[in-house]
Amino acid sequence: MFIGAQPPFELTNEPDGTKHAIKDDIQITVLPDVGDVELKHRVGQQTQGLEQSRWLYGKLGELRLYVNGTHVIITKKEMIPTFNRPTIQKTIQDIFKHIKPAKNKRGEYVIENEKNVERLAEFLTKLIEYEKFMARRQSEYIIQKALES
C-alpha cells in the first residue's frame, strides 16, 4: 500500500495532435501548435517507505509542466517527484477539523458521534502507516503542528 499515492491522469490524444490529461475536475489540454509535446506521469517510490509520489509530467518544447493535485509547476528544469510532507500534514489537519474533538471537564478530548469515531479510525490507520514511513523524519513535529492548528 502506498500512502499519498495519486491516481493517474487519463491521457488521450486526438487525431489532430491535441493532447488531454484528465483527472476528476482537472483537465489540461495541449494544442498541437505547441509542437514537441509529451504528457506522461513521473513516479517516485522508495525503499524504507510506503509512499509513492506521482506527478503529471508534460514536456512542452523547452518548458516542463508538473501537476500534483492542485499544485502546478511550469519550469525549464527536469525535476523528480517530491515526497510531499505538506500533503500528509494537511490530511491530518483536515481530519482533526472534521472530528472537532471537545474537551470534557477533566480536560480530556471527547469525540461525540459515531461518524467522527469512524473518521478517527481512518486517521489512526493513516497515522500508523505514516509513522512507519516517517519514523526518522521528525513526525512528532508534524503531529504536534496538526494538533496546534
Angle at CA 43, nearest 5°, toward 42 and 47?
155
Count of CB atoms situated within 10 Å of the CB of 17: 13
By CB under 8 A, which span of 25-33, 48-56, 101-109, 116-124 interacts with another protein? 48-56
Nearer to another protein, 49 or 101 (CB): 49
34, 43, 111, 120: residue in contact with another protein (rule CB under 8 A): 43
42, 85, 90, 126: residue in contact with another protein (rule CB under 8 A): 42
Please tell me whether residue 125 binds another protein under the rule CB under 8 A: no
C-alpha 21/C-alpha 5 separation (Å) is 18
44, 61, 69, 86: residue in contact with another protein (rule CB under 8 A): 44
* Contact code string over 49-88 relative to another protein, x by CB under 8 A: xx------x----------------------xx-x-----
57 bridge partner residues:
40, 66
36, 48, 104, 148: residue in contact with another protein (rule CB under 8 A): 48
**Shortest distance, CB of residue 12 to another protein, whole angstroms?**
11
What b/e readout covers 110-147, taking b as 16+ CB neighbours within 10 angstroms?
eeeeeebeebbeebeebbeebeebbeeeebeebbeebe
C-alpha 27/C-alpha 142 separation (Å) is 32
Q: Residue 83: which of 114, 59, 112, 47 has the closest Cα?
A: 47
52-60/63-68 β-pairing: antiparallel
Nearer to another protein, 58 or 95 (CB): 58
Q: Which residues make up the interface to another protein (CB under 8 A)?
A: 2, 7-8, 11, 38-50, 57, 80-81, 83, 133, 136
